[in-house]
Amino acid sequence: MTVHVVVAVVLLAVPAVVPTVACVGVRPVTLFLVPLAGSVLVAVAAELELAVGGSLLMWFVILAVVANLMAARRLRRGAGPPRDSFSSPWPWITLLVVVAAVVWPLHALRNPIVLTDGYAIWTLHSIFIYGGHDTFLSGLKNPVTTFSNPGYPPLVPASGALAFIGEGRVDIRLAVIVTGVLEACGLGVVACGIAEVARRQVSAVTRGASLVVAAALCLVGFGSGIAGLSAVGGSADLTWAAAGVAAVVYGLVLPRSPRHLAIAWLCATVASLTKNEGFVTALFIFLLIAVRHRSTLVGLVRSGPFGSGRRAAAVVGEPEPDPTPSKVVRLLFVIGSTVVMAAPGLAWVLLMRLEGIGSDFVGHSTETFAQRAHPTLAAFADHLHILPVAAAVAVVGSLVLRGTRTRLGLGHPGWLWLVIAWSLVAIAATYVFGALEIKWWLATSIVRTMIFAQLALYTDLAVWCVVALTRTPRPEETTPRYRHSARTGAPVPTEPDRQLSARH
């Protein structure tokens, strides 16, 4: 089995190495992003298999070649983000700690745990995709298999199908293990994001503490408080939740930069291609990212995706023209950016509508609104015990540590809470206006549908912990460490900070 797992992960990751390095450079987070980028490639390949015909492998190879050619062009022009040299010990320590924290929970995969959802949805869809266009389409349209929610997006099943191709046969357990690896990668990206909060800190204690917090978050993400059995049983819920939270951390919490934008974009795409609620939440994340990073996006559009990184840093200090002349243009730009970023997920939704494929929970129920709303709210309350603690910390932190947070270049804490609120409203609306009998539905799914909100709340706590541990000099005590480029939004070190970076 170990050989097949290694082959499956290599098959998924190798075509994505160069494109990922071209976009985000060589950093600890790159290790976790590569398999996720591969899973996006294979998900788009599954979309093409369904829409156009052919096999998954054929489209995966074509997409991999195209992505690598584009990445090679970017790297040849030297326009990629500057690489971290791994010359200081911190990137290595980060890598070791996060790898250990995400790999340890995976040892539960040595037992053949496959939950009902693992069988009835994800691996079944993997079998459809593995069978080629005709099997894929007829499988999704088969009225007998409506129970499998045929409209669910293809990222997890396509990754499983690619693993089947690697082994040369259907192997349910292998698909479940690949899902676990993707979950681990998502949590790894979140953990690296937490570590990035303290990246500019000189204090070894703060940086070390941020790593401990990040590692604890990985264990919690896999554990009983959040995912538990579903994390190692083949369900896709932790995959989308971890990727969604990673997108929030890099897109809405960490300082604005083209590199963080690329990571957030990739992670939100993973979420949008993994589950329906992931798609709805990712759409909102894309919208907020487009609002927060509009200057960076304008820079990318103006200088092209192959030239923004270095050019952005080069223009610091120069007078920059107003990138968005009017509110209408700005609004159109934000909407356009959201649609472009969400394109892979939107394509799947469109494809499902064109083929008339839906899910069995969509429809009308005989229960009244009140009969559905009360148990839904009660179930939410039962599974969000962490909410009051996280809210209290966020309120107190916002009131007292706002300055520290600003000096670290972090985004407004409200962004993350907006995403959590949107996700909860979307899930509540699905329960209240859905077709399935509500008590059975809640009993069988609430543990999984709350994973994103719980993980996001724990992540917010972790970020506040690192902020609280950070002692940043006040503006009157020192010169600014960096400033944001008005054109790209990228944080650009001032001269003293460059010297500091060179030392550490």
Partner 1 sequence: MRRVGEGVVRVVIVVTVAVVLVAAAHSAVRTTSALAGPVAGRSWSVLYEQQACLRAALRRSLPRGAEVYLKTPTVGLEDDLIFGAVLLTPWAHPTTAAAAHWTVSIRIGGAAGSCQGVGVRVRKV
Instruction: Give 131 or 411: the residue with its C-beta nearer to partner 1.
Output: 131
Q: Which of 2, 3, 85, 111 binds partner 1 (CB under 8 A)?
A: 111
Q: Does 116 help bind partner 1 (rule: CB under 8 A)?
A: yes
Q: CB of 236: closest distance to partner 1 in angstroms?
A: 16
Tokens 């995959």: give the residue. Answer: 239
Residue type, 383: H
Contacts of 36 (CB under 8 A, 6+ apart): 182, 185, 186, 189, 243, 266, 267, 270
Taking CB under 8 A as the criterion, the residue among 17, 26, 61, 108 binding partner 1 is 108
Between CA 280 and CA 284 the distance in angstroms is 7
Dihedrals phi, psi of 62, to nearest 5 degrees: -60, -50
Please state the closest distance from residue 220 (CB atom) to partner 1, in A: 4
The per-residue DSSP string of 395-455 comes to HHHHHHSHHHHHHTTPPPTHHHHHHHHHHHHHHHHHHHHSSS-HHHHHHHHHHHHTHHHHH
Total of residues contacting partner 1 (CB under 8 A)? 58
Closer residue to partner 1 (CB): 336 or 475: 475
Q: Is 205 in the site for partner 1 (CB under 8 A)?
A: no
CB 485 within 8 A of CB 492: yes
Residue 135 Cβ vs partner 1, minimum distance, rounded to whole Å: 6
Nearest Cα to Cα of residue 177 among 190, 192, 159, 189:
159
Q: Does 216 bind partner 1 (CB under 8 A)?
A: yes
Chain centre to alpha carbon of residue 492: 25
Q: What character string, x for contact with partner 1 (CB under 8 A) and - otherwise, covers 226-245? A: x-xx--x-------------
Q: What is the closest distance, in whole angstroms, from the C-beta atom of residue 61 to partner 1 in the complex?
A: 22
Spatial contact of 165 and 56, defined as CB atoms under 8 Å apart: yes
Among 17, 51, 75, 170, binds partner 1 (CB under 8 A): 170
Q: Length of the chain in residues, anyone?
A: 504
Query: Closest approach of Cβ 105 to partner 1, in Å?
Result: 5
Which one of 173, 200, 405, 407 is in contact with partner 1 (CB under 8 A)? Answer: 173
Binders in 280-319 for partner 1, by CB under 8 A:
none
| 267 belongs to the binding site for partner 1 (CB under 8 A) | no
Q: How far does CA 395 lie from the centroid of its chain?
A: 26
Residue 357 within binding range of partner 1, rule CB under 8 A: no
* Contact predicate 472/465, CB 8 Å: no
Identify which range of 15-23, 107-115, 249-257, 263-271 contacts partner 1 by CB under 8 A. 107-115
CA distances from 485 to 27, 30, 261, 488, 497 (A): 23, 25, 15, 6, 15
Interface residue list for partner 1 (CB under 8 A): 104-105, 107-108, 110-114, 116, 119-120, 123-124, 127-128, 130-131, 135, 138-139, 142-145, 147-148, 170, 173, 213, 216-217, 219-226, 228-229, 232, 386, 389, 392-393, 396-397, 400-401, 458, 461-462, 464-465, 468-469
